[in-house]
Amino acid sequence: MAQPNVNIICWNIRGLNSRARRDAVPDIVQDSHASIVSLQETKLQTVDDAIIREMLGPCFVANFYILPADGTRGGLILAVSDRFFTLSDFHATPGSISATVTMLNERASWTITGVYGPQGEQDKLAFIEELRTLKTLARSEWLLLGDFNLITKAADKSNTNINRRLVGKFRGALDFLQLKELHLGRRRFTWSNAQANPVLTKIDHVFHSDDWDMLFPNAHLQAITTACSDHASLYLQGCVDNSRKPSFKFEEFWLRLPGFKDTVALAWNKPVQARDAIRKIHIKLCRTAKALRKWQKEKVGMLGSQIAVAKEIIWLLDVAKEGRPLSDSERELRKQLKASYLGLLAIQKIKLR
């Protein structure tokens, strides 16, 4: 039975030394039923049990770690509910805190790392190198999240004033760490400078390893509110899916279709972080099955609809031809559709066999 208790809030709160911001945290935590909380830029040098109890609730008091602020700059909190987890193996760097999360019901463990990236270019380059050092500390099941103050691509910023050197360095580090970004639903950006013509960026990210993805295949990430901060809070829902999944069914006729071999090769040849040989094979097989399901759905699954659409457009062009000469592009389209129609019929015949 899946346990839907992995509800993570990740938020740059922009200072817990403000009473208003400190009051906003329990509202978000209670509304989302958060069981894991990662807060950035707390601006607090000390955080005691009383502050955690006030903001997060009594179930977080036994399992939290902090990175003190440097004066009134930075500061991190990582906390988990003792109803579902324990937190151990704490490790800190200048811009991150990492720990092992052990799930009490499932007895599975994984690494979580919360980060707060610096502002200046040279500091950002040093931070990126710092991220690389975390690889040897993390388990193969790894979740990396927080305010990185970095973007991964041009589309993560609303204007063209982009430091492509930093983007390249950041992406290179993520490739080195073998981490992928979890898709953010409902929003394109996570931060705004709140001007009349605002600059919008996506500098808050959640990255994960392949093994973490295997543990939480149904994880879902969305931005829920900016509330009292200029950063949107990120809400990640995940659960250990122990339910029996439908078995993968291989169709012999796929071998005859274009794109099949390329799909298999692309999925199979992706690098795998796991060290155990059996685990590597397991990940490769799961990836390939997932890729083939997607390929089958896109290329084969809608055969009836594709055939109907091809016939309809051919008919419309035939009608148009009776009243006027077809253009060169229309004649070419008609020719291609007829070839596609015959090909789709052949695939349908093979599938039926």
- Of residues 231 and 101, more confidently modeled: 101
Q: Whole-model pTM above 0.75?
A: no
Backbone angles phi, psi at 65, to 5 degrees: -130, 150
pLDDT at 244 over 50: no
Q: Between vectors from CA 92 to CA 176 and to CA 156, what angle results, nearest 5°?
A: 50
Count other Cβ atoms within 10 Å, centred on residue 249.
9
Average pLDDT, the chain: 86
3-state secondary structure of 110: strand
Which of 68-72, 107-111, 205-209 shows the highest mean pLDDT? 205-209
Which of 143-147, 281-285, 313-317, 331-335 shows the highest mean pLDDT? 143-147
Q: Point out the least confidently predicted range of 21-25, 83-87, 223-227, 245-249.
A: 245-249
pLDDT on residue 126: 96
The answer to whether 49 and 27 are in contact (CB under 8 A) is no
pLDDT at 14 over 80: yes
Share of the chain above pLDDT 70, in %: 90
pLDDT on residue 106: 82
pLDDT on residue 304: 67
Of the candidates 63, 65, 73, 136, the residue with the CA atom closest to the CA atom of residue 103: 63
Residues 6 or more apart in contact with residue 226 via CB below 8 angstroms: 192, 232, 233
pLDDT on residue 306: 72
Q: Point out the least confidently predicted range of 146-155, 203-212, 335-344.
A: 335-344
